[in-house]
Amino acid sequence: MIDALYIAADSPLHRLPAGLKLAAIPVLAALLFALPGWPVAAVGLAIVLALLPVSGVPPRRAAKQLRPAIAVIAVLFLVQLWFTDVAAAAGAALRFLALILAATLLTMTTRATALIEALEALFRRLAWTGLSPERLSLAIALTLRFIPVLGQVVEEVREAQAARGRDRSIVALAVPVLVRLLKTADEVAEAIDARS
């Protein structure tokens, strides 16, 4: 699914190393939270927005990805407005908008493969803590690999239940999905054994 977000293009943002882009997100977050106030958040958002034309990502695609987040940010704004004032609420909303847009730009300009490699490099540096870099990167690869499979399983079960007239029952959906996922997990573990 993360690769379904990726937009193939040859922009300067696409060419930047994945590790650098990945590191930029927490740096941006730290800066935005360390320097409070809506003007700083607005500048942050302006900088991220300025990257949009450089990224080769069609603004409409970026807007589509942001749509679900807008509702959450609107709620955040209203809650902040209730407890604080307009300036603080605007600051919080702009800060989150900047961060979510930055993360969207990361996934739209970076292949999953490159992200995994960057994370693997990070995990290797953490090997002294006893974490196994191979295991961690396999876990991430498996997650990325099975997100579309999960979507497909849910769709198949939903269809089968709808055909039986039970398209509104959560239990009728959840039970077969869970059973299939547990069985799949067993079979994947067996296959990993066979392949390693």
Partner 1 sequence: MIELRNVTLHRGERRVLDGLSLSLAEPRIGILGANGSGKSSFARLLNGLLLPTSGHVTVDGIDTRDDVKAARRRVGFLFQNPDNQIVHPTVAEDIAFGLKPRRLPKPAVAAAVSAILARVGLAGSEERLIHELSGGERQLVALAGVLVMEPAHLVLDEPTTLLDLRNRRRIAAAVADFPGQVILVTHDLDLVESFDRVIVFEAGHVVVDDRSGPAVHAYRALCR
Integer Cα distance of 186 and 190 in angstroms: 6
Does 156 interact with partner 1 (rule: CB under 8 A)? no
Residue from 149, 174, 178, 179 binding partner 1 (CB under 8 A) = 149
Residues 87/37, Cβ–Cβ less than 8 Å: yes
Interacting span for partner 1 (CB under 8 A) from 30-38, 39-47, 58-66, 182-190: 182-190
Integer Cα distance of 127 and 120 in angstroms: 10
Residue from 141, 160, 177, 181 binding partner 1 (CB under 8 A) = 141
Residues 133/120, Cβ–Cβ less than 8 Å: yes
Sign of the Cα torsion 95, 97, 100, 102 reads: negative
Which residues 16-75 are close enough to bind partner 1 by CB under 8 A? none
CB atoms inside a 10 Å sphere around CB 153 = 17
Does 193 interact with partner 1 (rule: CB under 8 A)? yes
CB of 155 to partner 1, least distance (A): 12
Does 190 interact with partner 1 (rule: CB under 8 A)? yes
Residue from 105, 112, 136, 172 binding partner 1 (CB under 8 A) = 112
Q: Can you say how many angstroms the Cα of residue 43 is from the centroid of all Cα atoms in its chain?
A: 23
Give me the residues that bind partner 1 (CB under 8 A), please: 2-4, 112-113, 116, 134, 138, 141-142, 144-145, 148-149, 152, 184, 187-188, 190-196
